[in-house]
Chain A
Amino acid sequence: MIAVIGWDGDRGAARALLQAVIAGRHAQVFLAELRDWPEHDLTQDVEAFADVAWETLTSALFESVDPHHVEWYLRHGQFSTYDPAGPESITAVDLTWQGDRWRRIGGSQAYHLVDDATTSALLDGLDEVDAALQQVAADRLA
């Protein structure tokens, strides 16, 4: 599934692209940082975004996904900034489900850059961010 999710925080509204790959009760959830919200940093707001993403996911999937079998990833690339971005990257995030919300484990140690081979494999299963955003926009108009 894909969706653009929003969150209002101390620094105003922000949006991120949510992409989820579902397999039974397992899910890989990707949040892409988008360049039109330069004040926001997913690594600072990741718990809040995860909560919104989870709500979106479970609403769409009727809570079929087990929160203990969810992998969380951040996606960064040229879609994240108006400046040069370097190669697209995937960062795994250590989040734990606390019954009603997601919490990051280990502060800034919670982020782990995924190696090239795994990144390539993960990206193979996802639409490119620009294409996904266009799809979301088209779905809204339909």
Chain B
Amino acid sequence: MSQPTTAALDGRRLYAQVIGTYRAYQGAIQVQNKRIVIVKVGAREQDPLAWRLRCEASDFSARAKRATFTRLGYDVAEVELPATVSVADFRRHIADANTDSEVSGVIVQLPVPARLAKQVRSIDPSKDLDQLTRRRGQAVCATADGMYRLLDPLLTSDDRVAVFGGKGFVGSGAVRLLREHGHDPIVIDVADSPAAARDATALISSVGRPHWLSVQQVGDRSRKVILDSGFTPNPARTERPDQPVAFGDIHPGLYRLARYATPVPGGVGPVEMAVLAERALTKDLGATIPPWTYGGPQLGALFTIGAELVSADILATRAHLAAPTTNRTDARISPAPSRPTRPPSRSTKPEVER
């Protein structure tokens, strides 16, 4: 059997397109003196290595958020709490951010110890950029949102999607979006047998265990797409700089059987940041912000301007993002819905190679 050539779903390119476009709003944010608060709970030296690596991964993510929001003109405040922080202190830090009128968004870096996990829901819903409060009827977390945006132009109704870690925070969000868009995903918890995914054409993993999903578990059939939101820092890298920065959930042998796949790092992570950027700007600047969607590996990010989907390159030639021209035929890629609150449905997606 000839193996397909895997095309990377390049999150960094998409991030550059989205943030490059959204930087036009930096001045509008700066004059508002808006701040984003990122709350982190650390690990202790005596904690298990797997947990310390989780917390280290969380630090990577926090740094990426700081960089993203700073590029958009926000002040960013990081609140670093010890692993032994009390419930009362944890809630107080969130409450302080909730009541501070200059704070636009509050993000708690996950994971937190289980005893604190549900305290995260005390975030003011109006400042909950990452949907950590998990309120019914609201959007899903930025990672799941980003993963679905990546999948949307690639999936057809014939595809079967398996979600590993589908009961967790990220995975359950992906499952919800898939169901809302007419798919019937296979939901697999870490305690379940991965073999249920043998016939799936698309695999999503948000488990956070390095290279744990392999051909041995799910078979060697080719897949259309694999999305890997796992990110486990490589502890050997401190002594071996030639080693990878981090490992995803997907073993390379399985990754190579996909036609499209997200690399780790540089896949899902940057897309998550692009979603958070859109959410923050939309919250603070309202309807002037063009939402982005993913046009597939060739097109990258597309922006909804009025009734059009416009590429980042063409959008960059326009002088004023806040009052875009809508009748330029050279900029038009496909009809777009009137200002969607979610990524456009498959019926409105641009044509891309499948």
Interface residues of chain A, those whose CB is within 8 Å of chain B, are 33, 38, 40-41, 43-44, 74, 76-78, 80-87, 89, 91, 107-109, 111-113, 116
Query: Told that A43-B118, A76-B114, A86-B111 touch, could you supply 8 new A-B pairs with CB distance under 8 A?
Result: A80-B114, A80-B117, A86-B83, A108-B87, A108-B91, A111-B88, A113-B84, A113-B86
Does B343 interact with chain A (Cβ within 8 Å)? no
Residue among A81, A107, A116 making CB contact with B114, cutoff 8 Å: A81
* Binding site secondary structure of chain A: mixed
For the complex, give the distance between the alpha carbons of A82 and B141 in Å.
Answer: 15
Does B275 interact with chain A (Cβ within 8 Å)? no
Residues of A within 8 A of B208 (CB): 84
- B168 pairs with A82, CB closer than 8 A: yes
For the complex, give the distance between the alpha carbons of A81 and B118 in Å.
Answer: 10
- B113 pairs with A89, CB closer than 8 A: yes
Residues of B within 8 A of A83 (CB): 110-111, 117, 168-169
Residues of A within 8 A of B88 (CB): 107-109, 111
Interface string of B66-101 (1 = CB under 8 A from A): 000000000000000001101110010000000000
- B46 pairs with A85, CB closer than 8 A: no
Ordered nearest first, which 3 A-B pairs have the shortest CB separation?
A41-B118, A76-B114, A85-B114
Distance in angstroms from A29 CB to nearest chain B CB is 17
User: Residue on A with the closest CB to B117?
Assistant: A81
Residues of B within 8 A of A78 (CB): 114
- A selection of 26 A-B contacts at a CB cut-off of 8 Å is A38-B134, A40-B118, A41-B118, A76-B115, A77-B114, A80-B114, A82-B172, A82-B189, A83-B111, A83-B117, A83-B168, A84-B51, A84-B54, A84-B111, A84-B208, A85-B113, A86-B43, A86-B83, A86-B112, A87-B113, A89-B115, A108-B88, A108-B91, A111-B87, A111-B88, A112-B86
Interface string of B185-201 (1 = CB under 8 A from A): 00001000000000000
- A86 pairs with B114, CB closer than 8 A: yes
Distance in angstroms from A83 CB to nearest chain B CB is 5
Residues of A within 8 A of B113 (CB): 76, 85-87, 89
Known: A84-B51, A111-B87. Is A33-B114 also a contact (CB below 8 A)? yes
- A87 pairs with B167, CB closer than 8 A: no
Distance in angstroms from A43 CB to nearest chain B CB is 6
- A87 pairs with B47, CB closer than 8 A: yes
For the complex, give the distance between the alpha carbons of A102 and B115 in Å.
Answer: 21
Residues of B within 8 A of A87 (CB): 47-48, 51, 113
For the complex, give the distance between the alpha carbons of A74 and B91 in Å.
Answer: 17
Does B13 interact with chain A (Cβ within 8 Å)? no
Interface centre among B47, B114, B168, by most chain A C-beta atoms within 10 angstroms, is B114
Does B119 interact with chain A (Cβ within 8 Å)? yes
Does B121 interact with chain A (Cβ within 8 Å)? yes
Distance in angstroms from A106 CB to nearest chain B CB is 8
User: Residue on A with the closest CB to B190?
Assistant: A82
- A43 pairs with B87, CB closer than 8 A: yes
Interface residues of B in 39-64 (CB under 8 A from A): 43, 46-48, 50-51, 54
For the complex, give the distance between the alpha carbons of A111 and B43 in Å.
Answer: 20
Residues of A within 8 A of B168 (CB): 81-83
For the complex, give the distance between the alpha carbons of A112 and B88 in Å.
Answer: 9
User: Residue on B with the closest CB to A44?
Assistant: B118
For the complex, give the distance between the alpha carbons of A123 and B133 in Å.
Answer: 31
For the complex, give the distance between the alpha carbons of A87 and B113 in Å.
Answer: 7
User: Residue on B with the closest CB to A112?
Assistant: B86
User: Residue on B with the closest CB to A83?
Assistant: B168
User: Residue on B with the closest CB to A77?
Assistant: B114
For the complex, give the distance between the alpha carbons of A78 and B86 in Å.
Answer: 19
For the complex, give the distance between the alpha carbons of A40 and B117 in Å.
Answer: 11
- B87 pairs with A91, CB closer than 8 A: yes
Residues of B within 8 A of A84 (CB): 50-51, 54, 111, 208
User: Residue on A with the closest CB to B85?
Assistant: A113
- A86 pairs with B47, CB closer than 8 A: yes
Residues of B within 8 A of A38 (CB): 134
- A113 pairs with B121, CB closer than 8 A: no
Interface residues of B in 199-230 (CB under 8 A from A): 208
User: Residue on B with the closest CB to A116?
Assistant: B46
